[in-house]
Homo-oligomer: A and B are copies of this chain.
Amino acid sequence: MSNFTIGIVGLGLMGASMAYALRGFREARLLGADTDELVCRRAEFAGAVHKATQDAGEVMAQADLLLFCVYAHHIPPLLSAHAAKLKPGALLGDICGVKTHLYQAMEPLLPGHVDYVGVHPMAGKERDGFDNADPLLYRNSGFIITPLPRSSTESISAMKEMAGYIGATRVSVVSPEEHDRIIAYTSDLMHIASAGLCMDFHPGMNVAFTAGAFRDCTRVADINAAAWTELLLDNRANTVERLDRYLASLQKVREALCQADTYALNCLLRQAGENKREMLQR
């Protein structure tokens, strides 16, 4: 083991999976923090981290690379409480799904002796918590890096190196603002659309009536309501804009259906297919 220490604050699905995936990275010592003592003991027992504690400050004080894997609203208070203890030269980051709102609250709290580069690993599961952690969660996934204006080139490179180590194969670097605008489409809108499909259903249905389209379109409908309420509200200006565009598309379909306009409906469906194929090539 080297003297390099990685700290993971939050050992839920994302944090614990990150810990597993980072084993061996720079031969680092892995420290974890979680408010749940049982999770700490099990994370140590399972080998997710070398040591886990309920004291996030202790982990923050020792980490050379520190990743916040907790809800966004927990991060500013953690920085307020422990910023002075951070190691000089440490690199901090978070894996939150919405950036702008968090960074507005967080940047004034960042001390000058550390650097910060946020990341957003594009992976997840319907079920969260330590028990669902998976060392391969980030394998073959997308990974977005969202530097602050102050972030150094070296720190951005370090996050790219980490992304490669955990198995991400599609890496993109964008501003936090652009990240939030794009993610409102590729993630927030998808979850709203899927959940919306299950807010109401036909009472006569049973599984004989379901096939791949139902399975896939509703797969993420049973999401962590608390986490997604926070994510959607944190990005609500962008999310409402994408939702309005989606509603406008659906209204066009509705119009074509009501008017039995074969040509218009065919055009709309063909455009969807063309767009889908274009998106996959980007």
Contacts and interface: CB of A to CB of B under 8 A. Distances in A.
Interface of A: 122-124, 141-144, 170-172, 174, 178, 181-187, 189-202, 204-214, 216-223, 225-226, 228-229, 232-233, 236, 239-240, 242-254, 257-258, 260, 262, 265-266, 268-273, 275-277, 279-280, 282
A213 B248 CA distance: 21
Contact of A217 (B211, B220, B280): B220
Given A183-B209, A273-B225, A193 B174 contact: no
A122 B228 contact: no
Contacts of A275: 198-201, 221
A197 to B, nearest CB: 6
B243 A196 contact: no
A270 B144 CA distance: 28
Contact of A205 (B186, B232, B262, B277): B186
Contact of A250 (B182, B183, B196): B196
B211 A282 contact: no
Contact of A191 (B122, B213, B282): B213
